[in-house]
Chains A and B, each alone.
Chain A
Amino acid sequence: TQLLEQSPQFLSIQEGENLTVYCNSSSVFSSLQWYRQEPGEGPVLLVTVVTGGEVKKLKRLTFQFGDARKDSSLHITAAQPGDTGLYLCAGEDIWANTGNQFYFGTGTSLTVIP
């Protein structure tokens, strides 16, 4: 079983602060995805990173894939209450062209206080 550990597990910050969420594993992944999930809803894909060392930006969110493709980070600048939610990372493992499987992290619950 390939495990992805996220830290911190819970985060409560004031509006306007910056934060970083980490996703770490001992396994190498073909790609890594970040999702945000709100209560009562399914996860919504934010970004997919594929190449080791890749950095992608989505407005105030910056995503980085580690050089060895084992870990990733999500940095949010000037957090807003709308950023509140459960952030999940998911590593993709491709099985010899028969299919693919995503291993999800434990999640980081973010609360941004107005």
Chain B
Amino acid sequence: DAGVTQSPTHLIKTRGQQVTLRCSPKSGHDTVSWYQQALGQGPQFIFQYYEEEERQRGNFPDRFSGHQFPNYSSELNVNALLLGDSALYLCASSRRLQGFNQPQHFGDGTRLSIL
């Protein structure tokens, strides 16, 4: 049973470029959340996707956008990259049941470095 998989594992970009990160959720999961984790800090919530729609969004600019596909996989897109976007980007999946409090399973992340 594969867990959450993310690709690529590492990525180097320059300022102003655009990047797309990918996430495949754990089997049986239908909800995907994206987080940004700067070095030495806890993850910060970017947004959550369910039924191919963005359901919740954290305090991130519109340069951050996403998509969820019918097979529940998801993409995170970041435009006009800034040096401050350098971080570990984590994807977490869960299964939405009646009510919440469902455990999240995290992938190992994509390490994005902006030069």
Chain A: residues with CB nearer than 8 A to chain B? 1, 4, 6, 30-31, 33, 35, 40-45, 48, 50, 88, 90, 92, 94-95, 98-107
Contact = CB atoms under 8 A, between A and B. Distances in A.
Contact of A107 (B35, B42, B105, B108): B42
B106 interface: yes
Nearest to B91: A42
Given A43-B90, A101-B48, A107-B41, 9 more contacts: A4-B42, A6-B42, A48-B101, A50-B101, A92-B101, A100-B48, A104-B43, A105-B42, A106-B42
B100 A100 contact: yes
Contacts, number: 68
B56 A98 contact: yes
A99 B41 contact: no
B56 A42 contact: no
Nearest to A44: B106
B90 A42 contact: yes
A81 to B, nearest CB: 22
A101 B45 contact: yes
B24 interface: no
Nearest to B54: A99
Contact of A33 (B44, B48, B104): B104
A45 B105 contact: yes
Interface residues of B, number: 26
B73 interface: no
A4 B43 CA distance: 12
B109 interface: yes
A99 B48 contact: yes
Nearest to A103: B45
A102 B101 contact: no
Contacts of A1: 59
B4 interface: yes
Given A40-B108, A88-B43, A101 B103 contact: no
B33 interface: yes
Contacts of A92: 100-101
